[in-house]
């Protein structure tokens, strides 16, 4: 039984490695309907382009950059 758990752990680790290599990308609409991005829906609507896919890290960076920007 210990061998079975080890195999499962190895598979999980390998699948995490593959995920780290290439992030999944999502549409603007997917971010708008996401519960995690609900507080930033207005920013997502303004910053993201229709018909283009974005990774979560790209969207998070865009939001952070906007929120850290100076008021003119």
Q: Residues 18-46: what's their mean pLDDT?
A: 91
Q: What percent of the chain shows pLDDT beyond 90? A: 62
3 state DSSP class of 66 = helix
Q: What is the pLDDT of residue 12?
A: 43
**What's the DSSP call for residue 50?**
T
Three-class SS state of 24? coil
Q: Where are the alpha helices (DSSP H) in 1-72?
A: 2-21, 28-33, 41-47, 56-68
Compute the chain's Rg from CA coordinates: 18
pLDDT of 10 higher than 50: no
Q: Is residue 38 part of a domain?
A: yes
Examine residue 9 and state whether it is found in any structural domain, yes or no. Answer: no
Q: Evaluate if pTM is beyond 0.85.
A: no
| Residue 69, in any domain of the structure | yes
Is 11 part of any domain? no
Q: Compute CA 50 distance to the chain's CA centroid, rounded to the nearest angstrom.
A: 17
pLDDT averaged over every residue in the chain: 81
What's the domain range around 41? 23-72
């Amino acid at each position: 039984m210990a061998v079975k758990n080890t195999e499962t752990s190895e598979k999980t680790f390998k699948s995490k490695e593959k995920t780290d290599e290439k992030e999944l990308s999502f549409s603007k609409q997917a971010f708008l309907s996401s519960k995690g991005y609900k507080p930033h829906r207005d920013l997502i609507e303004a910053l993201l382009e229709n018909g283009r896919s974005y990774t979560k890290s790209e969207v998070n960076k865009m939001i952070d950059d906007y929120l850290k920007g100076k008021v003119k």
